[in-house]
Amino acid sequence: TEAWGPDDDEPRPHSGPVKVRVPAKINLHLGVGPLRPDGYHELNTVYHAISLFDEITARHGDTLTLTMEGEGTGELELDETNLIIRAARALAARARVPAYARLHLRKAIPLAGGLAGGSADAAATLIACDLLWGLGMSRDDLAEVGAQLGSDVPFLLHGGTALGTGHGEAVSPILARPTIWHWVVAAADGGLSTPAVYRELDVLRDGSWPPPPLGSADRLMAALRQRDPEVLGAALGNDLQPAALALRPQLADVLKAGAEAGAIAGLVSGSGPTCVFLAADAAHAQRVADGLTAAGVCRAAITARGPQPGARVI
């Protein structure tokens, strides 16, 4: 199957295995606008990919199968509702090829954690199957297929630091001189449902004292350009944080422990319950992680760096 014709550049199937690594995402700014008729909220977000990675390996097979190892995979359904299976089927349908592959997931990104682990796996599957099946689809076409699977999939194909609009699926890169930012990821026990957190925000906004919306990401973008962690820390914001805190009040203890451990700033990641903290450098991040671990407020405190490239073959 790997024979290349002498006279054409047509993509051909890969002999396999194809291994793809994909990062987790955090939102440096998550401005949530009104609820739209299609059930999504309008977003103004700044995505940032960090060094916490899942890995998808794709091999040829006579049918479509998925096996998994790692972080919380016992809780992931291996059926047709799984985002990896759905990604493979959606790509096959788009390209009009049979969805035959043996897929294996090595998971490090916590499930239902607000780090887009599910969307990350879908993005990795699209890249892996595109190569395995020799489809040669463009990133834009893959992003279009991905946007149907999850709002964060197009960003995870892209990676880096990027502005997200629409319901998050419209991604444009932020051109800035590369700066490495140091983070601590505080993983929680148990997940939070993304739709439930958005619904809770709608409830809070219908109440008598609604949290004011963040709006545009201009201040965050200006802060990124200054390359100073103190300035970036002051500009971080997440409209979903009050909703996540309402559903999971213990998250306030995590944020407090991070501040006491010396973090520059901390916030709930996406819809939570993961919290992320900004540090000045790698040694500072390790001290913050150690402080969080000693406080006993999270399942694990992991240091990470961003930005990272999106889903790519390794």
Residues classed as catalytic: 25, 152
Tell me how far, at minimum, the Cβ of 152 lies from ligand C5P, in Å.
6
Residue 198, interface with ligand C5P (CB under 6 A)?
yes
Interface with ligand C5P: number of residues (CB under 6 A): 12
Tell me how far, at minimum, the Cβ of 156 lies from ligand C5P, in Å.
11
Rounded CA-CA distance 269/260 in Å is 19
Rounded CA-CA distance 311/314 in Å is 9
Tell me how far, at minimum, the Cβ of 239 lies from ligand C5P, in Å.
11
Nearer to ligand C5P, 64 or 156 (CB): 156
Q: Which of 44, 57, 161, 194 binds ligand C5P (CB under 6 A)?
A: 194
Nearer to ligand C5P, 43 or 87 (CB): 43
Tell me how far, at minimum, the Cβ of 167 lies from ligand C5P, in Å.
4
| Cβ neighbour number for residue 76 with a 10 Å cutoff | 21
* CB-CB contact of 276 with 269 (8 Å): yes
Residue 43, interface with ligand C5P (CB under 6 A)?
yes
Nearer to ligand C5P, 39 or 178 (CB): 39
Longest dimension (CA), the chain: 71
3-state secondary structure 54-121: EEEEEECCCCEEEEEEECCHHHCCCCCCCHHHHHHHHHHHHHCCCCCEEEEEEECCCCCCCCCHHHHH
Residue 21, interface with ligand C5P (CB under 6 A)?
no
Tell me how far, at minimum, the Cβ of 308 lies from ligand C5P, in Å.
20
Nearer to ligand C5P, 130 or 169 (CB): 169
Tell me how far, at minimum, the Cβ of 46 lies from ligand C5P, in Å.
14
- What would the x/- binding string for ligand C5P be over residues 122 to 161, using CB under 6 A? ----------------------------xxx---------
Q: Which of 25, 167, 182, 284 binds ligand C5P (CB under 6 A)?
A: 167
Q: Which of 5, 37, 39, 74 binds ligand C5P (CB under 6 A)?
A: 39
* CB-CB contact of 166 with 115 (8 Å): no
For the record, the structure tokens of 3 come out as: 């024979």
Residue 269, interface with ligand C5P (CB under 6 A)?
no
Residue 25, interface with ligand C5P (CB under 6 A)?
no
Q: Which of 16, 23, 168, 306 binds ligand C5P (CB under 6 A)?
A: 168
Q: Which of 14, 25, 41, 182 binds ligand C5P (CB under 6 A)?
A: 41
Residue 195, interface with ligand C5P (CB under 6 A)?
yes
Judged by CB under 6 A, the stretch of 36-44, 86-94, 181-189, 206-214 that binds ligand C5P is 36-44
Tell me how far, at minimum, the Cβ of 110 lies from ligand C5P, in Å.
15
List of residues contacting ligand C5P (CB under 6 A): 39-41, 43, 150-152, 167-168, 194-195, 198
